[in-house]
Amino acid sequence: DQQVKQNSPSLSVQEGRISILNCDYTNSMFDYFLWYKKYPAEGPTFLISISSIKDKNEDGRFTVFLNKSAKHLSLHIVPSQPGDSAVYFCAAQRAGTASKLTFGTGTRLQVTL
């Protein structure tokens, strides 16, 4: 039972263009969502998050959008840079469970020159 889904295993985008990574969830008890970035042979690093009381959160080139009614969130990267090439994981959390994250399967982003 995959409660957090990332249906696109990979995405290729040209440098300077927008990258859009999608994530869907099924558990309506999730109230906090995070994106992590992972390079090969390293641990995931936190990128950006959003609370369920918001529908958008922006941090520099990274923006996360949340559509609660559709149980869908997306990460926008504008403009995309070659250093953004990595695997991106969507994660979700229920209230009061800060030590427990439910992760999606990841999307490998490749930014080409």
Partner 1 sequence: NAGVTQTPKFQVLKTGQSMTLQCAQDMNHEYMSWYRQDPGMGLRLIHYSVGAGITDQGEVPNGYNVSRSTTEDFPLRLLSAAPSQTSVYFCASSYRGGRGTQYFGPGTRLTVL
Residues that bind partner 1 (CB under 8 A): 4, 6, 9, 32, 34, 36, 41-46, 49, 51, 89, 91, 93, 98-106
Burial class (CB in 10 A: 0-12, 13-18, 19+), 59: exposed
The reply to whether omega before 79 is within 30° of 0 (cis) is yes
DSSP-derived 3-state class of residue 23: strand
Taking the least distance from each CB to partner 1, the nearer of 58 and 78 is 58
Alpha carbon 11 to its chain's center = 13
Minimal distance, residue 79 CB to partner 1, in Å: 26
- Taking the C-alpha atoms of residue 36 and residue 69, their distance in angstroms, rounded to an integer, is 23
Taking the least distance from each CB to partner 1, the nearer of 29 and 78 is 29
- Taking the C-alpha atoms of residue 1 and residue 53, their distance in angstroms, rounded to an integer, is 26
DSSP-derived 3-state class of residue 87: strand
Minimal distance, residue 62 CB to partner 1, in Å: 15
Taking the least distance from each CB to partner 1, the nearer of 6 and 85 is 6
Minimal distance, residue 16 CB to partner 1, in Å: 29
Minimal distance, residue 73 CB to partner 1, in Å: 14
Taking the least distance from each CB to partner 1, the nearer of 65 and 103 is 103
